[in-house]
Structure 1
Amino acid sequence: MGSESSGADQSDGSSRRVGRRAVLLGGGAAVIGAAVLARDELARAWWRLPGMEKKRVEGELDHRAAEWTSAARANWRRADRPDDYRIDRVVIHVVQGSYATALKVFKNPGHGAATHYVVRKDGHVAQMIRELDVAFHAGNRDMNERSIGIEHEGFVHRPQDFTAAMYAGSARLTADICARHGIPVDREHIIGHVEVEGTDHTDPGPHWDWDRYMKLVREASRTRV
């Protein structure tokens, strides 16, 4: 599965990012290890104070064309993006299985990973995690915090799994995400799981047609109402 074993919300990059934050969090002293991470997370938790967190509605959709079906709570982290973490990437995954399989494992709290969205071969989209929350999908803490993950039904070695309907439905979803978060529609900001630093995954694989997909995303961006 494209997101399997990606649930560890960790990365080598996180320690570098923490170091940069420590300068802002300050006091002039260099703080290392767990104390720095704890202080960093505390600084980002201002939105948890009474009256600060965005209002949430059970089952509310970010992408209006999607169907809501929630991932297990253990497979994502509550946040308040983009107020606490900016969102500037969309990560494309392939399930290595069926749509039903993706939903099943993402609902399993023991799986440890899930994406925000799952796209079926007919283009139908399920939303499983709110975009303001951090999904454990990329296997890299920094990328998890800054990105939205989209899983696609199918297998990386079967080009026939990537149907026209799937490409079109996914492209509309990505165009909508990019428009709402101000993400540039280009290959620097719309990436494959394989392109995430430190990953051991290969999805979406050699048969994912990036030229076709990006053309569809750009077209959907122009026609988005």
Structure 2
Amino acid sequence: MDITRRRLLIAGGTAVGLSIAATAGRDSASRLWWRVPGNEKPRKEGDVDHTSAEWVAASTANWRRADRPADYRVDRIVIHVVQGSYPTALKVFQDPAHGAAAHYVVRKDGHVAQMIRELDVAFHAGNQEWNERSVGIEHEGFVDRPADFTPQMYRASARLAADICHRYDFPADREHIVPHAKVPGTDHTDPGPHWDWGRYLGMVEEELRRARRRRTAG
């Protein structure tokens, strides 16, 4: 692995995570109503929001408990690239000193790990408002290696993104599915110039059509 990139991943994520964590206690009382006994949605350890995902828990230091979309509307997906391997992503997201993690990690062969419930706010985008309104999807690989973005990865990620778009009722377009590089205030460049947005969004739309046909047939 490129050691410089590895250091950037860890150092950058830590700085972002610490900044976001420092502001986590500032939520208004109106957003905390779900903490009153009886209001919070039921939770069960190991549950996943995307049925084909494997649960691999991130460190609790890298996300904030919430009750989305009851307290924060979800209307964005942020696309990330790890700048490293799938095991590296899992390792750093499980490290409490890292200070950052995404909801999902997609491997090159299409395997998906869910590390944070969509109910909760992951420290992934480098912007508190965007963290609160988005789901983060991390992808194994490097931004300057187009071969890392395999057909299996695109398909699995598109199926996941379509599932998220459907559940929170927002369109699969470049306004609502965005690169990490376009999040206001971030200094990241991922997923980079080799991420095929036309192909990817087309696949998300295809998965949404398939889901609609299944619902109609059922």
Aligned equivalents of 2:111 and 2:28: distance in 1?
Answer: 36
Tell me how large the CA RMSD over aligned residues is. 1.7
Task: Verify: 1:168 aligned to 2:155, yes or no.
Answer: yes
Higher RCO (CA < 8 A, seq sep 6+): 1
Question: Which residue pairs with 2:126 in the alignment?
Answer: 139
Structure (1/2) with the larger helix percentage: 2
Question: Which residue pairs with 1:62 in the alignment?
Answer: 49
Query: Which has more radius of gyration?
Result: 1
Give yes or no for contact 1:77–1:135 (8 Å, CA) kept in 2.
Answer: yes
| Pick aligned residue for 1:130 from 97, 100, 117 | 117
| Equivalent runs, 1:1-225 vs 2, <5 Å | 1=9, 4-5=13-14, 6-8=16-18, 10=20, 38=26, 40-224=27-211, 225=214
Aligned equivalents of 1:9 and 1:55: distance in 2?
Answer: 30
Gaps of 5+ in 1: 15-36
Gaps of 5+ in 2: 1-8
- 3-state SS of 1:177 partner: helix
- 3-state SS of 1:55 partner: coil
Q: TM-score, normalised by structure 2?
A: 0.88
Aligned equivalents of 1:199 and 1:125: distance in 2?
Answer: 25
* Poorly superposed stretches of 4+, deviation over 6 Å: none
**Would you say how many aligned residue pairs link Structure 1 and Structure 2?**
200
Aligned equivalents of 2:123 and 2:19: distance in 1?
Answer: 6
Aligned equivalents of 1:85 and 1:9: distance in 2?
Answer: 20
Aligned equivalents of 2:170 and 2:119: distance in 1?
Answer: 15
Q: Percent identity?
A: 66
Give yes or no for contact 1:8–1:136 (8 Å, CA) kept in 2.
Answer: no
Deviation at 1:183, TM superposition (A): 1.6
Aligned equivalents of 2:157 and 2:18: distance in 1?
Answer: 26
Give yes or no for contact 1:7–1:138 (8 Å, CA) kept in 2.
Answer: no
Q: TM-score, normalised by structure 1?
A: 0.85
